[in-house]
Amino acid sequence: MDDIWNGIYGQALVKTTLSNLLGSTKIPHAFLFQGIPGIGKEFIAVRFAQALNKKFNENINPKILNSIASLSEPYLKYIIPLPRGKNEGDENSPTEKLSNDDIQLLREELEKKINNPYYKIKLPHASIIKINSIRDIKKFLSLAYTDVRYRVILISDAHLMNEAAQNALLKNLEEPPEGVVFILSTPYPALLRETIKSRCWILNYQPLGNDDIKKILVNYFKADKDLAKEAAPFAGGSVQTAVSLLEHDFENLRDKTILILRYSLGRKYHSALNEFSSFLSTGDPETIKLLIQMIMVWLNDLQKFKCGEKNYFFERYLDTLEKFNSKFPEIKLDNIVSKLDSLSSLIQNNININLIVLNLVCELGSLTVRR
């Protein structure tokens, strides 16, 4: 059974658990795959869907397995957040009112996902899973297919279901149809109703190791090996973050991080804000989020330096750790890391980016105020 996980990096415990389930006689009707974005939750879900059917029919038609890998009905229903079409009502199908451009982009993004299971689909204005996407499950279930033992409904970013969509899904989970498995994938399980979570077999996915991220970047995204190796430690265990770092010029971000730290910690606020100016002008909040994450990595390096540990992420900027620690040896970092993490979370809530940046610089500057 281990060969079903070929090409999927990390997640040893999850893969072992699912492999053991495949060897049992009872398969749960619903799963909740939870963990940070970009760690292979949906990749494993698709492989598990294939393995479920192969388990009961070793001579299964390869076209069925290929259809599942292609995220295609009638064997797998893939539900994702979609934009809302013009004059769209809940009675319309999920894509019925989308423009031709939206449909074309959706096809292109799905193709990228099919060819690269670690790819994150990007659709403008796709901020929720619409209730008509959940209601469309009824149509999927109404069709019977005897050539497979199990059909799978995979819901990506399940936390983006609004209350109405979650209520609609709950009805399906309360009376699970025979031969159908639901798999919900989310980095934010707290946003799902407890009544939904209680009906799911929950599997916790772990952040990926740096070596796994490097291999995924090289093998799935054709990244330069050396650059992938340097960027991986800054990704927080997420392929999605690692890809974003490369797309936003990782080396420049790393250099800017050091400049921002030097100016902010030196309380040269105007200079620090100037370093942010080029990023703010693009209107891309993702860059600011990445910078905050890299600042947190530097602070983590500083904590390791204080404890006498090695293997720093900012190895080429070791002098910044040495100088700062010698000048401020008594500084405690617990509160600042928590505050920066809170600032980062505000970005996705459409809080004014300029205000977030100002708070960030001031928080860093407060570290070096003598008390």
Please work out, in degrees rounded to the nearest 5, the angle formed at the alpha carbon of residue 186 by the alpha carbons of 180 and 189. Answer: 105
Q: Which residues contact 162 (CB under 8 A, 6 or more apart)?
A: 128, 129, 131
CB-based contacts of 64-69 (< 8 A; 24+ apart in sequence): 64/147, 64/148, 68/152, 69/114
Task: Kindly report the pTM of this predicted structure.
Answer: 0.90
User: Is 18 within 8 Å of 8 (Cβ atoms)?
Assistant: no
Q: What is the structure's pLDDT at 165? A: 94
Say what the pLDDT of residue 43 is.
97
On whether the CB atoms of residues 49 and 180 are closer than 8 A, the answer is no
pLDDT of residue 18: 96
Which of 3.90.1150.10, 3.40.50.300, 3.40.50.970, 3.30.60.50 would CATH assign to domain 2-204? 3.40.50.300
Any idea where the domains of the chain sit in the sequence? 2-204, 248-366
For the stretch 240-272, pLDDT in tens is 999 999 999 999 999 999 999 999 988 999 999
Beta strands 76-79; 201-204: pairing state: unpaired
Q: Which residues of the chain have pLDDT under 50?
A: none
Q: What is the pLDDT of residue 312?
A: 87
Which runs of consecutive H residues, i.e. helices, occur in 116-249? 131-142, 163-174, 194-197, 210-221, 225-231, 239-247
Rounded Cα distance between 215 and 9, Å, is: 8
So what's the pLDDT on residue 370? 59
